[in-house]
Amino acid sequence: VVKKNKQGSEGECRVDYFSVNENHDQVILIKEGIEVEHTDSKSIAVKSANTLLDECKSKADRSLKNIDNTNNPVDPLHVLDTLTACVQKGVATEIERANEEIAFQAQVRKNMASQLENYTCADETLNTTEAKRTETWRGRKVSVMIDRPASKIHTVENFLTEDECKAVEEAARPILH
C-alpha cells in the first residue's frame, strides 16, 4: 500500500509511505520528488508473465479475427500452436536471462570469497566471529560458527598437534597470502 503526499514547493518537507510485503527481494526506491517505487521478485515475475501473456494473446486474437483479410477460414489449432510457441519463446527467454543473472552472481560471490578469504587469513588482528553454539566432539570443544544446509563452519579445539598445524600452514602459504 503506497500513500503519497507529493504536494509542496521547493524546500518543503514531503512525505511518502510504503508497506513491505511477504515477498522476497524487496527493493524500495525513493526517487526525486519523493516518489516511492516498491518492487519485489514476485511482483516483477508476475508483471513480466502478464506482459508476455498479453503480447501472445494479442497475436492470437489478431489471428482469430483474421486481420490479414485473406478471408481464409481460421484454423483454431494453428492459432493455439501460435499462442503456445509465443509463450514458449517468451518463457525460454526469461529463463535464459535468469540463468545469466545466476551465473553472474555466482561468479561475483566466488571472486569476493577468494578476496575475503585471503584478507581475513592475513589479518591476524581481525576479531573472530562469536560462535552460534558450542558442542563437544570426541572430547574436544567445537564452536559452531555457521550451520546451514549448504554451508557449515565449525572450529575444533586441539584438532591438530603444533607440528601438524605448522605443516598445514606451510603447505597453504602459497595460496593464502
Convert the pLDDT of each residue in 70-126 to its tens digit: 667 778 888 899 899 999 999 999 899 889 988 998 899 888 887 776 666 677 787
Does the reported pTM lie above 0.85?
A: no
C-alpha cell at 40: 519485489
What is the radius of gyration, based on Cα positions, of the chain?
29
Confidence of residue 4 (pLDDT cuts 50, 70, 90): very low
Angle at 148 (CA atoms; ends 26, 128), nearest 5 degrees: 95
pLDDT value, residue 19: 67
Confidence of residue 64 (pLDDT cuts 50, 70, 90): confident
> Which range is least confidently modeled, 1-5, 26-30, 46-50, 95-99?
1-5
| pLDDT at 40 > cutoff 80 | no
C-alpha distance across the termini of the chain, in Å: 51
- Higher-pLDDT residue of 8, 137: 137
Residue ranges of the domains in the chain? 1-39, 42-126, 133-176
The answer to whether 122 and 115 have CB atoms below 8 angstroms apart is: no
Under DSSP, the state recorded for 166 is H
Confidence of residue 41 (pLDDT cuts 50, 70, 90): confident
